[in-house]
Structure 1
Amino acid sequence: MSFSKNDRKVRAESGSSFPLDPSADTEATFAAVIADALRRDFGSTPAHVKHIARLTGANGRTVQNWLNARNGPSGAGLVVLMRHSDEVTTAVLGLADREQLRHAVDLSKNMASLKTAINSVVALLP
């Protein structure tokens, strides 16, 4: 049996999905949570799609699928996104039900912005 020439252009309707804990109190799927985090951190304009594609080494269409919550990133792509995006890191920690780590990430972000504010005020002092 030979495959048709259009076999790679058809999107599969069924497949494996991200296994969420049935007792989790989240209604969103993995792809939707990552898409929301990416939009919060990078936006959804075409320039941001190209920027995310350059960061991860993924195709632009793949990144568009992530932003539209059609698919979620693979493990390697997710690690790269977490390296460059605090929002994605926080979202993944929330899905993993790791609230203490999530608060530690938020605390470190707040400390960094506080240090920046203090340094700018100290620079203005005589």
Structure 2
Amino acid sequence: MLPKTGKSLPQRQADITFAELVSAALTEEVGETHRGVKTLMRWTGASERCVKHWLAGTHAPSGSHLLALMRHSDELLRHLLIAAGRREATVGLELASLRLKLRELLLLMDEGGAPPIRH
């Protein structure tokens, strides 16, 4: 037990709370607009007040809300994997994202909507 001397323990600058980590990821994914709030509410079933606390970084989502967010937000999943020291696991996320973008591009090209590539 630490003695009560009135001094607080120093914190490293790199330390970030879980709520701040969630806030950074969700803000990057959906922004802080009312539309972003509504999107997060739809994903999780959480109240508007809860979602605004998450975006502000003052509160973290509960376990069930966190799982729902991770189902929809690649950005949150990526942030959590990196924070857990599992950066190598993010490669799978990138690959899935690239595959989806490639599929969309191929569909666009098949429809004749993409301009020709010029070198």
Query: TM-score, structure 2 length as denominator?
Result: 0.76
CA offset at residue 118 of structure 1?
2.1
In the alignment, the residues of structure 2 paired with residue 51 and residue 111 of structure 1 have an alpha-carbon distance, to the nearest angstrom, of: 24
Q: Within 5 Å, which residues of 2 pair with 1:81-92? A: 81-92=69-80
Percent identity reads 33
In the alignment, the residues of structure 2 paired with residue 33 and residue 112 of structure 1 have an alpha-carbon distance, to the nearest angstrom, of: 26
**Residues matched between the structures, number:** 101
In the alignment, the residues of structure 1 paired with residue 49 and residue 38 of structure 2 have an alpha-carbon distance, to the nearest angstrom, of: 10
Match of 2:38 in 1: 50
Match of 1:8 in 2: none
CA offset at residue 35 of structure 1?
0.5
Q: Within 5 Å, which residues of 2 pair with 1:1-126? A: 26-124=14-112
Q: For residue 46 of structure 2, what is the amino acid of its counterpart?
A: A
In the alignment, the residues of structure 2 paired with residue 107 and residue 33 of structure 1 have an alpha-carbon distance, to the nearest angstrom, of: 23
In the alignment, the residues of structure 2 paired with residue 107 and residue 27 of structure 1 have an alpha-carbon distance, to the nearest angstrom, of: 29
In the alignment, the residues of structure 2 paired with residue 27 and residue 83 of structure 1 have an alpha-carbon distance, to the nearest angstrom, of: 26
Query: TM-score, structure 1 length as denominator?
Result: 0.72
Q: CA RMSD in A?
A: 1.9
CA offset at residue 26 of structure 1?
4.7
Q: For residue 36 of structure 1, what is the amino acid of its counterpart?
A: A
CA offset at residue 85 of structure 1?
1.0
Task: Evaluate the alpha carbon distance shift between residue 47 and residue 124 of structure 1 in structure 2; reply closer, same or farther with a 3 A threshold.
Answer: closer
Return 5+ residue gaps in structure 1 as ranges.
1-24
Structure 1 residue ranges, 4+ long, deviating more than 4 angstroms after superposition: none
